[in-house]
Chain A
């Protein structure tokens, strides 16, 4: 295959055109199979296998140190940037294995966007330029009108437009924490990803800002496949359609204990450990 990711790029382009609902689109489905992650000699994750359904919110829950963050960083090939880190197994996006050697990790990260725990807008850039940072990397000669369009569309999608439309030239770091996080979401959306990863996106925010982000996630899943890591079970119960519960074994290696719909995980878990965790007996 000359360009195995071409099909996905086409899906991305089609999505950018039509702004359609994604739940039918196989291109935005991810399949994690026997995924193991290592830091040098330490195994952080062992043989994780579960599907990530398109157009739905999949929450990854579990106590601290169970490998949630490592897991989500494997989905956009960010894990391998840590010195000594490596991954085995496969992660497929729309049927294409993102770990096959012909694929440029930068391309994967363009299709699988990410929002981090702590808001990290670029400190040297304005709000406007923060939103466009990713777009300009891939299309340096973008026209002014198109750039304006993308900025407005992304900021609206991140529910930030009304608050910042009069100060687009102000530095991104001048916003409040919750606004900064929504700016980071807008920045991730601007490159039209197929999947959006969120690594504890509200753990640095106050309850009101958290509420706004959760509301936003609810809207975003109409257009994006979302994977969210959270240690907050109420949050998972509020926003998730599917839940994966990870727990580390005696070697501190994270294992998948249970994967199911949020409904079943929270009302009728099959595994004892899951029940103990969601009822607060462990973790």
Chain B
């Protein structure tokens, strides 16, 4: 019975199963190759950097200020600057971005104006960072007279990452099914309570991921900070929001552009530290998200 049926089908339409299987296999190979190209390139770059920078890594490297003698030069001021900038950007951009996203998704009327704002936020996420640098220079450094300070840098980078945080948070908020909102409202929750107690917690893992990606971008930015006048040689750590500062990418950029090869090794060491900071950061985010997401199933 079974065999009969199969025999008939084979005559009526030719399924060409072997050929389809071969195409499937081929596509798998192509995809694997695509991944390999990316990974191998990255691996080579990292190997190159590690080879150059490994021997300069030491406690002294991390705890010394820059110096014009390469063997004494360290990254303390840059590391501390990066840490402060990251902290400030998180404090400024995270609440603003999440609030804007919640407003746009949960409260804003679905009007032309809202649509216009939404399109422009997405556009802002793609604006080159140097433009934000010029904006920061014009607004924060000159108009608000904050100078080339930590706070001016943090505000500039906050502007840069805000659109990214808003777009990612909106996606996360939109992914919460409407049935959750209805459940809240039907219990007599106000729209604000519904957003605060039921929608936001469910969207939080997504919001967190977006924010981390945005901060990872902020940590690597050099151009806007150079534009607002962040210093390349800072032999102190900032004591207040209004002190000058430097960050890891600027320090690396500075060392790379020196003629002495010994400074290039210092730059490679700086890159390793920057990568490590970034990795640490992303790993924390992934762990945190995994932990939160395990509980949330719609």
Residues of A within 8 A of B177 (CB): 120
Type the 1/0 row for A187-209, where 1 means its CB is closer than 8 Å to any CB of B. 11001000000000000000000
Q: Which among B179, B197, B297 is the interface contact of A171 at CB below 8 angstroms?
A: B297
Interface status of A161 (Cβ within 8 A of chain B) = no
Contact mask A89-118 → B, CB, 8 Å, 1/0? 000000000000000001111100110101
Task: Digitize A152-190: 1 where CB-to-B-CB distance is under 8 Å, 0 elsewhere.
Answer: 000000000000000000010100000000001001100
Asked if B189 and A137 sit within 8 Å, CB to CB, the answer is yes
Q: Is B253 an interface residue (CB 8 A)?
A: no
Interface centre among B182, B183, B188 (most CB of A within 10 A): B188
- Closest chain A residue, CB of each to CB of B297: A173
Question: Do A138 and B188 touch across chains, with their CB atoms under 8 A apart?
Answer: yes
Given contacts A120-B179, A124-B201, A184-B183, A173 and B188 within 8 Å (CB-CB)? no
Most buried by B among A78, A107, A118, A137: A137
Chain B residue with the shortest CB-CB distance to A81? B185
Nearest A residue (CB) for B295: A171
Known: A122-B180, A124-B295, A124-B296. A78 touches B193 (CB 8 A): no
Q: Which residue of A lies closest to B110 (CB)?
A: A83
Cα–Cα distance between A78 and B295 once the two chains are bound (Å): 29
Q: Is B13 an interface residue (CB 8 A)?
A: no
* Bound: A83/B179 CA distance, A: 16
Asked if B233 lies at the interface with its beta carbon under 8 angstroms from chain A, I say no
Q: Interface 1/0s, chain A 113-152, versus B by CB < 8 A? A: 1101010111110000000011001100000000000000
Which residues of B from 146 to 190 have beta carbons under 8 Å from A? 177, 179-180, 182-190
B185 pairs with A123, CB closer than 8 A? no
Q: Given the known inter-chain contacts A83-B110, A124-B296, A137-B193, please indicate yes or no for A118 contacting B179, CB distance below 8 A.
A: yes
Max count, chain A CB within 10 A of own CB: residue among B177, B186, B189, B204: B186
Note all chain B residues with C-beta closer than 8 A to A76: 186
Which residue of B has the minimal Cβ distance to A107? B188
Contacts of A134 on B, CB cut-off 8 Å?
187-189
- B218 close to chain A: CB less than 8 A: no
B180: chain A residues at CB < 8 Å are 120, 122-123
Given A116-B182, A137-B197, also A123-B187 (CB < 8 A): no
Interchain CB contact under 8 A, B188 and A110 = yes
Contact between A137 and B186, CB atoms less than 8 A apart: no
A133 near B202: Cβ-Cβ < 8 Å? no
Interface residues of B in 11-60 (CB under 8 A from A): none
20 CB < 8 A contacts A-B: A78-B185, A106-B188, A108-B188, A109-B186, A109-B187, A114-B186, A122-B184, A122-B202, A123-B180, A123-B295, A123-B298, A124-B202, A124-B295, A133-B197, A133-B198, A134-B187, A137-B187, A171-B295, A184-B183, A191-B187
Apart from the given pairs A106-B188, A116-B186, A137-B187, 12 other A-B contacts in the complex at a CB distance below 8 Å = A76-B186, A109-B185, A113-B186, A116-B183, A120-B179, A122-B183, A122-B198, A133-B184, A171-B297, A187-B187, A188-B187, A191-B188
